[in-house]
Structure 1
Amino acid sequence: MKTIFTKKLLLSFIFLVSSFAFAQKPVRELILLDKDWRFSFGHLYDTQKDFGHAEGYFSYLTKTGFGDGPAAPGFDDRAWRKLDLPHDWAVEQPFSKNGSFSHGFKTSGKNFPEKSIGWYRKKINITEKDLGRIISLKFDGVFRNSKVFFNGHFLGTQESGYNGFEYDVTAYVNYGGENTIVVRVDASMEEGWFYEGAGIYRHVYLQKTNPIHIVQNGTYVTTVIENNTAEITIETTLENKGNYKGPIKVVQTIVDKNGVEYTQLSEQFAAPDFYKTTKHLVKIKPDKPIFLWSIETPDLYELITEVVQDGKNIDVYKTTFGIRSMRFDAEKGFFLNGKPLKLKGTNNHQDHAGIGTALPDDIQYYRIKKLKEMGSNAYRCSHHPPTPELLDACDKLGMLVIDETRLMGINDYHLNDLKRMIERDRNHPSIFCWSVGNEEWNIEGGIAGERITNVMQHFAKSIDSTRPVTVGISSGFKSGISSVVEIMGYNYLGNGDIDAHRNQFKQQPGMGTEEGSTFATRGVYFTDEAKQYQSAYDKKPRPTFYSIEEGWKFYAERPYLAGMFIWTGFDYRGEPTPYGWPSVTSYFGMMDVCGFPKDNVYYLKSWWGNEPVLHLLPHWNWTGSEGKEIEVWAYSNCDEVELFLNNKSFGKKKMEQNGHLEWKVNYKPGTLKAVGYKNGKKILTEIQKTTGKSESINLSVDKENYSGKVSVVTVETLDKNDLHVPTDNDEITFSIKGGKILGVGNGDPTSLEKDQFIDAVSLVAITNLQEQKGTNALPQQLSNYEEKEWREAFKDRDYKKQAPSYIYRGEFDLNNVSPSNVISFFYKKIGVETVVFINGNKIEPSAEDPQKYALNPAILKEGKNSIYIAATPLQKIKDWDVMNTDPGIIQVITPAESWKRKLFNGYAQIIIQKDENTAEVLLTASGKGLRTGKLIIKN
């Protein structure tokens, strides 16, 4: 009795605990699915190399649930590479002159069909307790043309690589068991003329909600400021994917940056009908003074929306928003919170050195922070919707944003993309303008462009009436789009007469959506056409275009122009104008692809920022050029600057507003010094010294990162006096403990070095599979089998009259086998009991997986190798059962080289990620003849 009583108590306790756990489960769950995916390349047109996908008699488009090849739930992906998201497979590839100019000459895309298709697979468990909830998959972005399958069911195709999308998988879930997510990505076609990456390069989530829930992006918050308070309007869209028909209550609470609850409003109404939506509109006037969002004080609020049914919370949805006012004035420019603000913007693509487009969230913050340090206050998403985390960074750091759709047009493809972008992003206070197009040369100056712009502009206003619409225009500013767009976007002074257009359309506000397009290579001060390096002095990029200084002066002097956006903030892969191969990145950036500043950064910082600035260029290491005349420039916002060489003064010069200063100095080793004066007082000193040779490696980490998971490390060399050596190009090798390196870069536009050093995984097929009948006992060593008895395996097999066993033989090719290779045979079951021989040697399965065989390199041969499999046959249960005839795959892992990168003009960059539950990371850097550098990063 005692035992029975104890068991009853235990069962009751377990029931109570499980009930409590279920009760405590969040009513809405959003689970990040970035970890532990399997990946392999398929093929653009060869279905056999694409794992037989879409070869089935019934395809995924003919009958529901018939995903075949890797799309089938039972597909064996054990030999595939294991990785985490976000992932860009293009950045992992080598460079080739046969690659795409616009995409940085990587061996990916339509010219490389074996690297154009990527397959991703992941298994997840969903509990029986989730039965009755709505289960969906959310993708922030996949480049591009993705097909998604869930448990063999085709969910849909998303063509564009820049829009997020969501699929409801509720009906397909295996509750209480394993579920398989499969994504086929086709990156053969380019959407842009710039590097776009390839693969699932943004986050993926599993979402679980009540059948009655707030839809994705289902809250829309707008504000009207009145004195020191605001009227807040909240539109909430609810959906009912269930049969409940009674009343529900919506409770909405606003919380400020300090966690103080501002107000709460509760209203009751009828639930939407089955698979219908209802919009709920409320207006709230907070009873406390408000915090305004601005570029200096980016204060944010959180709206908590709760859905209540029968007194119980069934959904909670959180929305971040900001309170601010903004407007354009055709005479006076742009106003934020009632104050004039000159837009000091940059255009940017979304890739970064070493990691391509697969940016960790921390790197979004790193990049925006670098732009803020330069004095920039605005960012144009060129030319597509950004990842959500970039907008989060702009919200939190105080950076205004032009959010831009990818392609102009008036049909569902174009307008649905625009709608999804606006609905996703319209609560971000950083966004001040929607852009519906960029440099559409074929339609810019004609009636088609005018009509398309009118449709898109009005369509955008129907979704968000609080922000204006712009288009970036470059083929003259005379007619077509220019005539009707709400905010005129001028792309380059050299493309038309801005003043003339303004005089014709005086009621149309305008801004420079692109300006500059200048060429510069960081740390280079004499253009070298042979090396394809451009001087970093700010010069006209071509006769009809303008330097950064000329462009800024033009916009700064015209109050009616709201400001300008420089092309670009950062260098990016692709578009290596004015060169081609072997240049692989652009030259346009104020910073290089790593975020290391070029000298133009300091010009902008002088006139865009609020802090005193004094910067001297070039460096003063010109061995062999003694006596040669060197251009010396000073960027500063001081009143006057005095220049010295080895304590000899070259006199003071007055600084012109928005200008710079120049001297001609005959080179002599030593110390070049500039002294800046404000109101007659010395306030700044800048020095460039001639250095000695490099003797040690210095590692430093960017300490202001967002989450602490990912760090950006700068690598440089120092001379014996601990001075940075600006001309050093040493190769540095790296090792790490407690973390992993995600990528390396150095900003060299012609570098063809690897961005990433990862193990290479290749799959080798077993070919020419033949069979002959065996006996009841499986052989433990190979016999001399009659050659005439071999026949094509499984051909015309009578599954009702099978032999007791079969002997199968096949072959596989190995090339360049080395002792460092890790080679395995992943057996796919073609029998009940199995014995495997490689080149006549019996091999045993591994302990962790009875269908995996580790192959000793000593028994393998260069070229053809034989495999024999003795197996008792599988039996058909039903006549229509499809039997496996694939014996498996050979996996060859070639270990990666050590991580390394050459310095470029004194600098390189490493991006590292901490291991989970690691207290510290140790990064070590070594180079020939240099003192090793070490860096410890702690939590």
Structure 2
Amino acid sequence: MKTVFFKRIFLFYTFLISCLASAQNESERELILIDKDWRFSFGHVYDTKKDFNHAEGYFSYLTKTGFGDGPAAKDFDDRAWRKLDLPHDWAVEQSFSESGSFSHGFKTAGKGFPEKSIGWYRKKINIPESDKGKIISLKFDGVFRNSKVFFNGYYLGTEESGYNGFEYDISAYVNYGGENTIVVRADASMEEGWFYEGAGIYRHVYLQKTNPVYVALNGTYITSEIKNNEAKVTAQVTIENKGNYKGLIEIVQTIFDASGKEISITQEKVKAPDFYKTAVFTSNLNVKNPLLWDLDSPNLYRLVTQIKQSEKVIDRYETAFGIRTIKFDPENGFFLNGKSLKLKGTNNHQDHAGIGTALPDEIQYYRIKKLKEMGSNAYRCSHHPPTPELLKACDELGMLVIDETRLMGINDYHLNDLKRMMERDRNHPSIFCWSVGNEEWNIEGNITGERITNIMQDFAKTIDSTRSVTVGISSGFKSGISSVVEIMGYNYLGNGDIDAHRNQFKNQPGMGTEEGSTFATRGIYFTDDARHYQSAYDKKPRPTFYSIEEGWKFYAERPYLVGIFIWTGFDYRGEPTPYGWPSVTSYFGMMDVCGFPKDNVFYLKSWWGKEPVLHLLPHWNWSGKEGQEIDVWAYSNCDEVELFLNKKSLGKKKMELNSHLEWKVKYQAGTLEAVGYKNGKKVLTETQKTTGNPENIKLSLDKENLPKSKVSVITAEVTDKKGLRVPTADNEITFDIKGGKILGVGNGDPTSLEKDQFIDQTTLVSITNFQEQNGTTTVLPEQLSSYSEKDWKEAFKDRDYKKQAPSYIYRGQFELKNNLPSNIVSFFYKKIGIETVVFVNGNKINPSNEDSQKYILNSGILKEGKNTIYIAATPLQKIKDWDVMNTDPGIIQIVTPAEAWKRKLFNGYAQIIIQKDENAKEVLLSAFSKGLKTGSLIIP
């Protein structure tokens, strides 16, 4: 009896724990990152055979629900496809070609390359039986571009833009308790921008599970008003009901500070929305003595929204937000939290050296920290909605943001894109302004532009009334959009008379949305047009435009101008003005594509930052120029700077506000030294020394990395025997890693055609001329016999499945362009028989241990050119007359192992981006180069 009693007690507690776990599961919204373990392969823009026969079916996915064919079909065999993790940019993996797109950095992808313009992605996931009754969704942060998504063969939809986030409800299509297949087809053949945009699923993907009554997509909107040291927070929440519940629900809104302390709470009971309807509810909360979000103290709060049904939490949704005030004044510029603030901004595209647009989250932080270190306080998203992680980094690090939509217009395509961007991003305290357009030359100066701008501005106010709207304008500042836009966005002083426009529209605040663009190559001090290298001394990019210094002075001297956004913070791929091939990146950045600073960074740091600055240019390695005059500049915010060459003074000069100092110095090897003075006292010194020859490789962890991050940025350089960095070094460095993997390499050279990534190359080769003969017995051969040539016929043609032979012998060919011993060649068999024997070039091949339908082919039995494969099989039988039988024998996969990772230094630097393995205690990165001492770095 005791045994029975204890068994009953045990079963009761087991049941109770199960119920509690179930209740917890029901109460918690799940957002699961599903970036890992995808399969990828290229398709084709117009050749359906090369696109895996997609859209060849009698019924397409558009004519009948669930008829996704080719790779869109649930059971498509993708075993031979490449394995990878997201985010992924297939364009950055490609080589360069002069026939590639100028604007996209001459990569062999996109328009002009139909075989590298379509990318297929597939992933299998299991969804448990216990999730029945929930709303299951797929969430994509962005796919470039024109993506079609399928789930278990069902077509979910198309998202044309590569910059929009989107979500699909898959609840009705799920195989609960079993395997499910996600398929994405991305078409990057058309460009949206005139800059590098990448290709593929380059942002995160999530699986979301919620109760049928839940907070809708981007369903909270938080605003605040500050009065008498108290913030009144208005929390608006949109609830959606995709179930049949018709009763009351309770909405609980709670504010927590950064430490997790509860600050304020409110709750109310309301009627749930009707089936497949939404309803908006508003709560008011108070925060006493609020910690304001500011540039130096980016304080954040969390609003936790709970929906309760019969006292049970059925959904929980978190929103980060900040409390702060912003104000534009047409006379006095911009105010943050009541304090005047000059915006010191940069424009930026979203790619980075070595990794293209597929930036790990950590690199977003890395780039924002680089900009802040320069003294920048504002960031313009040029020219599209950013990835959410960028805005999160700006919120947490303290960087103001102009959030920009991609295209101007008044129809659903344009306004819906604007709405989605604003609803997704409007809770970010970093965003101070919305931009609804940039350099729309066709409409900037006419009535059409006025009408579109008025509609977009008014539409934006219906979504967020707390921020102003701007447009970047470059074709004159006289009429059209310039007359009606709320905040005037001036793109370049050379394009119009800013003072004249301001005098005409004195109630319209304005800012330099693009300004100060220059052409400069890091570490180059003599322009060499033949090599496409521009001197790094600040100068006008063209006669009518302003240099960085001239641009900043113009805006700094005018209090009514809000500030300036330099074009650009970082170099970017594509748009290699003023050159073309073989230049593959822009020259506009204050930093190169890696984030290595050009000298202009130190000009801005002198007048944008708060710390004392003294920077001397150029380097002092000018062998062969002895006795020639070299322009020596000092960037500094010191009162005076004195220059010395080999301890001999070349004069002390007074620094003017927002300026720099220059000397003409006849070159002789040695030490160039600058001394900075404030109030007559020496406060800083800076030297440039002539170095010896390269002897050692030095690897260092960049200080902008996040602590304990899985992804790290490493700088490679070479030093002489005294440990001095050699600024002209161009050695090729080879890298090896243990405990992690390399994601990409770069060096900032605008003309470098080196590989960004070294990855195994996967090639798929079809079996052609597939023929058959009847076998006479069900016993399959162990070795090949001689078969009569006259008996071969096209395989499966006119097959009578009710009168099949006991077995069949099939024959086909596949072509190998080379037969390298290092290649791994596999045959992925697709079942065309019950029992099967495979022969290649007369040799019987046994299946692999990992997969009974995979055959690894030894290079010893293969040859360059044509190879012959025989398959002996007993036939599959039709169960129903309408069953579609597989007639594809499979595919040959050739994996060519990658070369070792390597990169040349460019003017002394290269960059390596690495990712630590999940279970590794540390990463060891080693660097090798002929004639140099090996360098190594351990990252815990």
- What is the TM-score with the length of structure 2 in the denominator? 0.99
The secondary structure found in structure 2 opposite 1:929 is: coil
Deviation at 1:787, TM superposition (A): 1.2
1:935 pairs with 2:934? no
Deviation at 1:6, TM superposition (A): 9.2
Alignment of 1:485-884 (within 5 A): 485-706=485-706, 708-774=709-775, 775-884=777-886
TM-superposition CA deviations, 1:28-47 (whole Å, max 9, x none): 00000100000000000000
The residue aligned with 2:137 is: 136
Deviation at 1:609, TM superposition (A): 0.3
TM-superposition CA deviations, 1:680-739 (whole Å, max 9, x none): 000000000000001000101124433611000000001000001000000000000000
Deviation at 1:7, TM superposition (A): 8.2
Q: One-letter code of the match for 1:291?
A: L
- Structure 1 CA distance for aligned equivalents of residues 137 and 313 of structure 2: 20
Deviation at 1:228, TM superposition (A): 1.3
The residue aligned with 2:390 is: 390
Alignment of 1:418-457 (within 5 A): 418-457=418-457
The residue aligned with 2:209 is: 208
Q: One-letter code of the match for 1:752?
A: L
Q: One-letter code of the match for 1:781?
A: Q
- Structure 1 CA distance for aligned equivalents of residues 332 and 322 of structure 2: 24
The secondary structure found in structure 1 opposite 2:22 is: helix
Deviation at 1:22, TM superposition (A): 2.6
- Structure 2 CA distance for aligned equivalents of residues 18 and 763 of structure 1: 48
Deviation at 1:289, TM superposition (A): 1.0
Deviation at 1:20, TM superposition (A): 4.0
Deviation at 1:544, TM superposition (A): 0.5
- Structure 1 CA distance for aligned equivalents of residues 52 and 722 of structure 2: 60
The residue aligned with 2:278 is: 277
TM-superposition CA deviations, 1:634-678 (whole Å, max 9, x none): 000000000000011011100000000000000000000000000
Alignment of 1:55-134 (within 5 A): 55-134=56-135
The residue aligned with 1:254 is: 255
Q: One-letter code of the match for 1:179?
A: N
Deviation at 1:3, TM superposition (A): 10
Q: One-letter code of the match for 2:153?
A: G
TM-superposition CA deviations, 1:188-221 (whole Å, max 9, x none): 0000000000000000000000000000110000
1:266 pairs with 2:267? yes
Q: One-letter code of the match for 1:233?
A: T
Q: One-letter code of the match for 2:601?
A: V
Asked if the contact 2:370/2:704 (under 8 Å) is kept, the reply is: no
Deviation at 1:4, TM superposition (A): 9.1
The secondary structure found in structure 2 opposite 1:91 is: coil
TM-superposition CA deviations, 1:556-594 (whole Å, max 9, x none): 000010000000000000000000000000000000000
The residue aligned with 2:182 is: 181
Q: One-letter code of the match for 1:162?
A: Y
Asked if the contact 2:138/2:168 (under 8 Å) is kept, the reply is: yes
Q: One-letter code of the match for 1:76?
A: D
- Structure 2 CA distance for aligned equivalents of residues 862 and 671 of structure 1: 60
Over aligned residue pairs, what C-alpha RMSD do you find?
A: 1.2
The secondary structure found in structure 1 opposite 2:529 is: coil
Deviation at 1:23, TM superposition (A): 3.1
The residue aligned with 1:303 is: 303
The residue aligned with 2:243 is: 242
Asked if the contact 2:294/2:324 (under 8 Å) is kept, the reply is: yes
Q: 1:818 to 1:605 in 2, by over 3 A?
A: same
Deviation at 1:13, TM superposition (A): 6.5
The secondary structure found in structure 2 opposite 1:161 is: coil
- Structure 2 CA distance for aligned equivalents of residues 167 and 342 of structure 1: 42
- Structure 2 CA distance for aligned equivalents of residues 176 and 13 of structure 1: 25
TM-superposition CA deviations, 1:331-390 (whole Å, max 9, x none): 000000001000000000000000000000000000000000000000000000000000
- Structure 2 CA distance for aligned equivalents of residues 6 and 342 of structure 1: 74
TM-superposition CA deviations, 1:875-934 (whole Å, max 9, x none): 111111111000000000000000000000000000000000211000000111111011
TM-superposition CA deviations, 1:44-78 (whole Å, max 9, x none): 00000000000000110000000000000000000
Counterpart of 1:897 (choices 885, 895, 899) is: 899
Deviation at 1:227, TM superposition (A): 2.4
- Structure 2 CA distance for aligned equivalents of residues 702 and 850 of structure 1: 48
Deviation at 1:260, TM superposition (A): 1.7
- Structure 2 CA distance for aligned equivalents of residues 740 and 636 of structure 1: 40
- Structure 1 CA distance for aligned equivalents of residues 19 and 293 of structure 2: 43
- Structure 2 CA distance for aligned equivalents of residues 751 and 2 of structure 1: 80
Q: 1:932 to 1:801 in 2, by over 3 A?
A: same
Q: 1:877 to 1:208 in 2, by over 3 A?
A: same
1:36 pairs with 2:37? yes
Asked if the contact 2:619/2:688 (under 8 Å) is kept, the reply is: yes
The residue aligned with 2:229 is: 228
- Structure 2 CA distance for aligned equivalents of residues 496 and 368 of structure 1: 31
- Structure 1 CA distance for aligned equivalents of residues 14 and 780 of structure 2: 48
The residue aligned with 1:161 is: 162
The secondary structure found in structure 2 opposite 1:373 is: helix
Deviation at 1:848, TM superposition (A): 1.1
The secondary structure found in structure 1 opposite 2:403 is: strand
- Structure 2 CA distance for aligned equivalents of residues 333 and 181 of structure 1: 50
Deviation at 1:789, TM superposition (A): 1.1
Asked if the contact 2:42/2:120 (under 8 Å) is kept, the reply is: yes
- Structure 1 CA distance for aligned equivalents of residues 383 and 191 of structure 2: 13
The secondary structure found in structure 2 opposite 1:393 is: helix
Deviation at 1:18, TM superposition (A): 3.9
The secondary structure found in structure 2 opposite 1:519 is: coil
The residue aligned with 2:351 is: 351
- Structure 1 CA distance for aligned equivalents of residues 925 and 39 of structure 2: 28
Select between 800-809 and 744-753 the one with higher mean Cα deviation: 800-809
- Structure 2 CA distance for aligned equivalents of residues 764 and 736 of structure 1: 32
The secondary structure found in structure 2 opposite 1:285 is: strand
- Structure 2 CA distance for aligned equivalents of residues 776 and 633 of structure 1: 87
The secondary structure found in structure 1 opposite 2:531 is: coil
The secondary structure found in structure 2 opposite 1:721 is: coil
- Structure 2 CA distance for aligned equivalents of residues 327 and 75 of structure 1: 56
The secondary structure found in structure 1 opposite 2:92 is: helix
TM-superposition CA deviations, 1:155-189 (whole Å, max 9, x none): 00000000000000000000000000000000000
Asked if the contact 2:735/2:901 (under 8 Å) is kept, the reply is: yes
Deviation at 1:282, TM superposition (A): 1.4
The residue aligned with 1:196 is: 197
The secondary structure found in structure 2 opposite 1:850 is: coil
The residue aligned with 2:51 is: 50
The secondary structure found in structure 1 opposite 2:420 is: helix
Q: One-letter code of the match for 2:910?
A: A
The secondary structure found in structure 2 opposite 1:601 is: helix
1:152 pairs with 2:153? yes
- Structure 2 CA distance for aligned equivalents of residues 50 and 683 of structure 1: 66
- Structure 1 CA distance for aligned equivalents of residues 12 and 66 of structure 2: 41
Q: One-letter code of the match for 1:664?
A: K
- Structure 2 CA distance for aligned equivalents of residues 543 and 920 of structure 1: 53
Q: 1:501 to 1:693 in 2, by over 3 A?
A: same
Deviation at 1:507, TM superposition (A): 0.5
- Structure 1 CA distance for aligned equivalents of residues 168 and 490 of structure 2: 39
- Structure 2 CA distance for aligned equivalents of residues 516 and 114 of structure 1: 40
Deviation at 1:630, TM superposition (A): 0.1
